[in-house]
Structure 1
């Protein structure tokens, strides 16, 4: 019997640089996929990544899903984990799926594909967006020459979160459209009773220039939300220089209605998403932001830029467009915070409907099971 003729579950490796909260939205996407696939059946997910200070704590979130981690060395930006390839080869995987690019895991994925001859898929998670590829050009040029082109060549399939990302993948890698599958991220829908909302606008995610926080702060001050009792909370983690720049900007604004909460996880994050009246993300570049999907899963409407690549949020009435400059962000905030309660409730219901249908774990898991089993059968 060939590997493609096997009748049991497909053994799937989900490979990511950091299998902990330090992986940000990519880690949350990998975790959500592993959980959804394990519940759906037909595929046995195994997650691989580097060990860090949060691995032991975050391992609890996998709830029976196998997680294999190895120590990393050198700069965190590259996450060199020399023991990773051996663990991948020993796992007897039918399919390997890499999440994220520009790091050592890309080379691991390519070497695994070359040595096993088995199907290899890549999800760039927005990391081939022109805004991203224009930053750190020389580093990315070296990465292309050193390992990324090899990884892209060996991939049987690329995964795009949106049509826009499919175009980015084709441009950067030269992949034919037939090698690119478009599947959205998963989101768990909250079935708990609706929570009482406070006058909180929440911005949650990685602290990074692409999140466009400077115009957000300017727009907030300009919108004059504080006198109406509203407050803006920015939550997340990032490189020390980016966090320091944000803290300096907040100190300079001296606006008591804006606070920086730092990283939030688990119950604290859950509480904030359910307390917030809106989640805001005026990003310059995104793949498919988990912060927005998690907000919708909590029935929380969103204020976001078109760069979040979720136009269905606008068309369904679950989101308002912030644009990316301070004036347009201020205008969106004024509109949102002046909404009558009945209109806010309609936005909340639309958000929850999107989470339960378009982005539900059941819907997306079924798409992935068909893709993975199809790849395994083609060997």
Structure 2
């Protein structure tokens, strides 16, 4: 195990005696949105005078860990067994059971279906401390249908008991609240969206960062998909839609960027060949750092035709970079319509074709105005400062009672 610590120096801020232990299966950069979101949350909570410990596994094959400032990171190497048996790691479990209860306030578990999530519940029960669970979209109906047999076994073995043991759920959208209630859970739910460090996306990185790597993007407008390469994300529907439209928009190029953890990209590349799109589509692989910001800040339009999202961090990132967005109603982004910064469409190919055609027919100036509205939305609604304050209020309410935070939704029959 590796333990990283900080010196407790937060300038003029002092951390009060409130210690939160966060548990998440992975914070490796290629494993998806929760890795960064959990790390960013713990960093933001430090400004609310909360001390944070984060327990996780290190899947080195999936890139470096996203280590936040002001957080004690307890990181266990994901050995062969952990990598192939859903994070099974007896040393991790043992360390969780031996937590210093005199210092520990509560456990906040992030995600489902992995053994670290079981260890979080076992530690909370053993030490008789509250457990909060953030499902991160893993109770949505589309997600529950994937790997159905494995999830059914996990449900019977430990997941139902995990969820029943929570004193509170954290949901990021009203749709996720409904999914939790539909499964029969009656605990309070804190409705708090995910956040974004908007300042990280203010920089403009030149197009050449990507065009040097992918010359075919020169002198083209970029239709950008940036997310995990996974069946959930609807990339196949995007390719079918692009095949119908590409001849009408010769000055546009489809860029598909993201990590591929399950070998799905090969199927999409075969579909690209089958649809005769090889000259009009570029698969970049995982983008990070300056390459990622170059893709986002120079894209003309962002598209995520997802089947299911509890948030969709890439949508927020694109809006922060002043890029209008097209996504489906599988993502909780009705704000795209409310703030007139994108398209929130039905989850089918025809709706996608219609929205793409409308967006690409717009002038550059019209899309730029939409992008500016999107940037304003992220700054006002999705800043980590307000999200961390709401989360800290929930922690204090659970531990000390008092006035009900505005974000809490109680069960009503």
Q: Given the two structures, how large is their TM-score scaled by the length of structure 1?
A: 0.90
Q: Within 5 Å, which residues of 2 pair with 1:142-161?
A: 142-161=153-172
Distance 1:42 1:298, change over 3 A: same
Q: Within 5 Å, which residues of 2 pair with 1:52-131?
A: 52-53=59-60, 57-59=64-66, 61-72=67-78, 73-76=81-84, 78-88=86-96, 89-90=98-99, 92-131=103-142
Cα displacement (A) at 1:322: 4.3
- More RCO (CA 8 Å, sep 6+): 1
Question: Residue 9 of structure 1 contacts residue 41 of structure 1 at CA under 8 Å; is this kept in 2?
Answer: no
CA-to-aligned-CA distance 1:236-266 (integer Å, 9 cap, x gap):
1233331221121123233212111111222
Please provide the CA RMSD for this pair.
Answer: 2.3
For 1:368, the equivalent position in structure 2 comes to 391
Q: How many residues align?
A: 369
For 1:333, the equivalent position in structure 2 comes to 356
What is the alpha-carbon distance in structure 1 between the residues aligned to residue 62 and residue 353 of structure 2? 39
Distance 1:251 1:180, change over 3 A: same
Q: Within 5 Å, which residues of 2 pair with 1:319-330?
A: 319-330=342-353
Cα displacement (A) at 1:274: 0.9
SS of alignment partner, residue 357 of structure 1: helix
For 2:222, the equivalent position in structure 1 comes to 200
Unpaired segments ≥5 residues, structure 1: 1-6
Question: Residue 215 of structure 1 contacts residue 324 of structure 1 at CA under 8 Å; is this kept in 2?
Answer: no
Cα displacement (A) at 1:323: 3.1
Question: Residue 232 of structure 2 contacts residue 306 of structure 2 at CA under 8 Å; is this kept in 1?
Answer: yes
More helix per residue = 1
What is the alpha-carbon distance in structure 2 between the residues aligned to residue 374 and residue 74 of structure 1? 35
What is the alpha-carbon distance in structure 2 between the residues aligned to residue 77 and residue 308 of structure 1? 29
Distance 1:153 1:126, change over 3 A: same
For 1:44, the equivalent position in structure 2 comes to 51
Q: Given the two structures, how large is their TM-score scaled by the length of structure 2?
A: 0.83
What is the alpha-carbon distance in structure 1 between the residues aligned to residue 93 and residue 45 of structure 2? 23
Matched, 1:184 2:193: yes
Unpaired segments ≥5 residues, structure 2: 1-14, 208-219, 403-413
